Amino acid sequence: MPKAKPTPKAADTQTAVFSEAVTYFKHCQYAKAEPLFLSAAAVNPRAMYFLGEIYSQGTKPQWPDKTKGAAWYEKGAQAGDLLCQFNLVQIQDLPPKTLQKKLRSLFPGMAKLAQKGDIFAAYELGCLFLYNWEEN
């Protein structure tokens, strides 16, 4: 049986939940953001990026949980979120040339997101240049 599409009201509610979670995330209130992102992740792959960040970065005493963070990046990457794909590539144990090739393939999409005002894509690109990027 096909999965039912959310009603417009439910979609609006999920958008509001996601927006509230992002606001908490921006203000480093990760304990408040986490349950909202968990709710939003059912319909919003970008929520999976934020969950990956929260778990990977260690924002609670029981964190970091790199395995749980990687699992959220994997789910988000499979759902098509470019930031999840980008982070997943960076945490994989890849040979340097393979890593650079994969990062180069994701770069144009990341740059487009950043140019459109996505501050999280801009941040990820900044980290790329700071830590990982090799021009050869």
Write down the mean pLDDT value for the chain: 87
Q: Which residues span the domain enclosing 65?
A: 11-132
CATH number of domain containing 73: 1.25.40.10
**Structure token pair of residue 2:** 């096909």
State the pLDDT at residue 61: 66
In a domain, 16, yes or no: yes
The pTM for the full model equals 0.83
In a domain, 4, yes or no: no
Total structural domains in the chain?
A: 1
In a domain, 3, yes or no: no
19-50 residue pLDDT tens: 999 999 999 999 999 999 999 999 999 999 99
101-115 residue pLDDT tens: 999 999 999 999 999
Closest by Cα among 124, 113, 125 to 56: 124
pLDDT of 73 strictly over 90? yes
In a domain, 5, yes or no: no
